[in-house]
Amino acid sequence: MKKLILIVLIASFIVSIGIMALAEVKFGDWNKWDEQLPAAENESWYWAVSDNEPRVWNLKGFGDEGTDIVLLFSDLYFYGDKKGKTKASVIFYSSDMDVKKWDIPNAALALVVFPPIKKIMTIRAYKMEDDKVFKFFEQWEILSKDQEIVVSQNAKFRKIFKEWLKKQMSPERTVPEDMVEAMLPELVIWEKKFFRITDSMKFNEK
């Protein structure tokens, strides 16, 4: 009986260490990745694209009475150091608005991939809440491999992303699975050290 109690205590201690390790995750000048995304005003946010604007997806005929739906996908980096030698790649999903005025609080969902550790990359998913804060809700890992699928079939994010798409569409329309697959990102690696997550189809007609 004493041995059983000892084993339980040791297991509890190990679990508590794991929880503490998760809570203390730090990348760059932010240490609350397990709670929420850094604020838009954080100086470590940088665009990952040269035009500093979201990419536009135009879903023709998917809106009410056959109108088009415009979605914005924004590719950013969060620098882990001032020179940007280490970066986390982030993609934000937003509904229609002026691309020139887009900012992080305008988005609805976000995915973050952190630099690899022993060829494994951590993905974290966030959802915008009513208080205009991106709250963390899911984490998983992928291989650090070019064109690796970022969002697995059983990820909660996939369901939430599909629900978000549905809310943008006419009630009479359904969300095609091939559309979801095209929009969800893949991992792109070049020169063996630079990486970014982005949807496989770069963008459609504007």
Phi, psi of 3, deg, nearest 5: -65, -40
* SS3 state at 7: helix
Neighbours of 112 (CB within 10 A): 23
Quote the pTM value: 0.84
Q: What residues contact residue 73 under an 8 Å CB cut-off, 6+ apart? A: 54, 55, 57, 91, 92, 93, 94, 183, 199, 203
CB 104 within 8 A of CB 131: no
What is the pLDDT at residue 22?
42
What is the pLDDT at residue 200?
56
Cα–Cα distance for residue pair 164/92, rounded to 1 Å: 13
H helix count then E strand count, the chain:
3, 10
Band of the pLDDT at 193, cuts 50, 70, 90? confident
Band of the pLDDT at 37, cuts 50, 70, 90? very high
Q: Which of 22-26, 57-61, 91-95 has the lowest mean pLDDT?
A: 22-26
Query: Tokens standing for 120?
Result: 């494994």
Query: Tokens standing for 199?
Result: 């949807």
Cα–Cα distance for residue pair 173/165, rounded to 1 Å: 11
- Region 145-167 average pLDDT: 95
pLDDT in tens, 9-26: 433 333 333 333 343 457
Of 111, 117, 53, 109, give the one whose Cα is nearest residue 78: 111
In the chain, domain spans: 2-199
